[in-house]
């Protein structure tokens, strides 16, 4: 029997394209993991598939990277399925592990896929470092502008409470505390405003 496996990394990605392709290629049942990254070890859909297949079955995937977390993980899965007498077919990669050439190509493609992910990771890191050198903000955009953060500090110094400022800017009080904490970095410990003082 032919069983399909489909996976998308985020819940907003469309899994239907994979599902339709696998069904069109003869999959009688399709196991899915939606919104689960390939790097996550626990994948319920894949686990259910591994429990279902038996000797003579075929696991059909859209691409090999939908199946394995890394080259090593992909090869481990291939070996596990091979020990059960199950082969893997990839529609986009044109690979069928039922023959010796398919197994060899699987190992090579898995390694290439891992190299590609590492290259992307390095590019992202290099881009972030270059951004930091240019003084660009990293991560999520601050909830309050620089002018608003200065207003928070000035307002507290003039006696306004954290609760009032949270209402003014429509943010959680924790955001106001973070702004104040950032503002007093570098000030001697004894001069720092305590949470109790800020709420007074």
Q: Known catalytic residues?
A: 9
Strands 29-34 and 87-90: unpaired
User: Contacts by 32-37 with C-beta closer than 8 Å and gap 24+?
Assistant: 32/5, 32/6, 32/7, 33/6, 33/7, 33/8, 34/7, 34/8, 35/8, 35/9, 35/10, 35/11, 36/7, 36/9, 37/9
Residue 102, C-beta contacts closer than 8 angstroms, at least 6 positions apart: 87, 95, 96
Q: What tokens were used for 176?
A: 């106001």
d(C-alpha 108, C-alpha 36), whole Å: 25
Question: What 3-state DSSP class applies to 32?
Answer: strand
């Amino acid at each position: 029997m032919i069983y399909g496996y489909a996976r998308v990394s985020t819940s907003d990605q469309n899994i239907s394209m994979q599902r339709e392709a696998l069904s069109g290629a003869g999959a009688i049942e399709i196991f899915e993991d939606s919104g689960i990254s390939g790097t996550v070890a626990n994948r319920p859909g894949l686990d259910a598939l591994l429990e279902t297949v038996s000797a003579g079955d075929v696991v059909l995937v859209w691409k090999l990277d939908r199946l394995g977390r890394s080259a090593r993980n992909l090869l481990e899965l291939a070996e596990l399925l091979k020990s059960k007498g199950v082969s893997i077919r990839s529609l986009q990669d044109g690979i069928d592990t039922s023959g010796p050439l398919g197994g060899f190509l699987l190992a090579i493609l898995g390694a290439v896929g891992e190299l590609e992910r590492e290259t992307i990771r390095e590019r992202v890191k290099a881009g972030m470092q270059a951004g930091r050198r240019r003084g660009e903000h990293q991560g999520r955009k601050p909830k309050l502008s620089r002018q608003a953060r200065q207003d928070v500090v000035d307002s507290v110094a003039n006696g306004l409470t954290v609760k009032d400022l949270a209402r003014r800017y429509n943010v959680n009080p924790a955001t106001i505390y973070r702004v104040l904490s950032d503002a007093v970095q570098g000030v001697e410990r004894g001069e720092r405003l305590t949470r109790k003082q800020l709420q007074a």
